[in-house]
């Protein structure tokens, strides 16, 4: 069902300006994921606070390449695929945000956040020195929040002859849509996603499609590459899968929460 109505934006002494909008039910939140350390494994959660800079606790840490003098110094899995095999662990209850206390390496060793042992482990694998940094507002490539439709991932994985694995796509919000068509996110651009109550719930302005890189080729369990994944995205939707957005209203997100699209 599509609802229509009016938002009152301005009330001046001599006239009132109104904007017509449509409210389109999309489905529900299927999955929420934080990525506390850039390019390391994600941490699924049932609830998360959506702040002005994305999910609290998301991508607040990143490893800086000390020998890199360009404009993008951060170490990502495109440079070191094994980063995906490191898992942020624990929860520091002294922090304002839900941030990890340790990292579990691919060999099962627990290393403390900020320790020289953790930096040495990554530096040795990368072959060049790195330094773990924490940025208050996060370290993002394009935008502070990312969303993707479950049907989109299913279509890509089917085309690549792989089982569906949401971890490959590293989105913050996975939407289980009512419609089964893939790449519906393309139609969300310029609209607003509202979660839960349409009057008070968190809201994201969808700003652009998510142009994919080779990271979706990486198996989250082995870090091995399968180029068929990115080839499928290129073939099916010109290398776009999912969307980015900016936060226009903060609030609590929950798995199972209704998702609606506001089109003005």
Nearest to 255 by CA among 29, 19, 15: 29
SS3 227: coil
- Site of tokens 């530096």: 123
Domains held by the chain: number: 1
Strands 145-149 and 173-177: parallel
**CA 18 to each of CA 12, 76, 197, 262: distance values in angstroms, whole numbers, following the listed order:** 12, 45, 21, 15
Q: Which parts of the chain fold into alpha helices (H)?
A: 116-126, 150-159, 228-237
Task: For residue 79, count CB atoms less than 10 angstroms from its CB and return exposed for 0-12, middle for 13-18, buried for 19 or more.
Answer: middle
Residue 19: per-residue pLDDT: 61
Residue-level pLDDT at 166: 97
What is the Rg, in whole angstroms, of the alpha carbon atoms belonging to the chain?
A: 20
Task: Give the count of alpha carbons within 13 A of 45, CB side only.
Answer: 25
Q: Quote the domain boundaries for residue 203.
A: 3-263
- pLDDT tens readout for residues 221-255: 999 999 999 999 999 999 999 999 999 999 999 99
Give 36-82 as a DSSP string. SBTTS--EEESEEEEETTEETTSS-EEEEETT--SS--B--TTT-GG
pLDDT of residue 18: 56
Of the candidates 92, 74, 71, the residue with the CA atom closest to the CA atom of residue 83 = 74
CATH of the domain at 55: 2.40.33.20
Q: What would the pLDDT profile of 66-86 be if each residue is shown by its tens digit?
A: 998 888 899 999 999 999 999
Give the model confidence (pLDDT) of 148-203 as tens digits.
999 999 999 999 999 999 999 999 999 999 999 999 999 999 999 999 999 999 99
* Percent residues over pLDDT 70 in the chain: 92
- Enumerate helices (H) and strands (E) in the chain, giving the number of each: 3, 17
Weakest-pLDDT range from 8-17, 85-94, 197-206: 8-17
Task: Report the relative pairing of strands 258-263 and 203-211 from DSSP bridges.
Answer: unpaired
- Which band of pLDDT confidence, cut at 50, 70 and 90, is reported for residue 14? very low
Q: 95-112, pLDDT tens digit by residue?
A: 788 999 999 999 999 999
């Amino acid at each position: 069902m599509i609802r229509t109505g009016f938002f009152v934006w301005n009330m001046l002494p001599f006239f009132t300006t109104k904007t017509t909008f449509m409210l389109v039910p999309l489905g529900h939140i299927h999955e929420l994921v934080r990525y506390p350390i850039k390019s390391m494994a994600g941490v699924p959660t049932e609830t998360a606070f959506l702040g002005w800079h994305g999910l609290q606790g998301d991508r607040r840490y990143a490893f800086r390449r000390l020998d890199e003098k360009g404009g993008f110094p951060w170490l990502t899995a495109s440079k070191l695929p094994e980063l995906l095999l490191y898992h942020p662990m624990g929860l520091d209850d002294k922090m304002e945000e839900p941030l990890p206390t340790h990292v579990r390496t691919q060999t099962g060793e627990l290393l403390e956040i900020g320790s020289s042992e953790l930096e040495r482990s990554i530096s040795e694998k990368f072959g060049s020195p790195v330094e773990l940094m924490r940025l208050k507002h996060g370290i993002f490539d394009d935008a502070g929040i990312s969303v993707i439709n479950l049907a989109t991932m299913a279509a890509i994985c089917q085309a690549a002859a792989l089982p569906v694995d949401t971890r490959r796509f590293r989105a913050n919000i996975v939407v289980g849509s009512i419609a089964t068509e893939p790449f519906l996110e393309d139609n969300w651009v310029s609209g607003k996603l509202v979660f839960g109550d349409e009057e008070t719930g968190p809201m994201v302005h969808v700003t652009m499609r998510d142009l994919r890189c080779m990271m979706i080729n990486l198996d989250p369990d082995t870090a091995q590459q399968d180029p068929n994944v990115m080839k499928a995205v290129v073939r099916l939707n010109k290398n776009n899968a999912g969307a980015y957005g900016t936060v226009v209203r903060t609030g609590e997100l929950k798995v199972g929460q209704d998702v609606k699209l506001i089109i003005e």
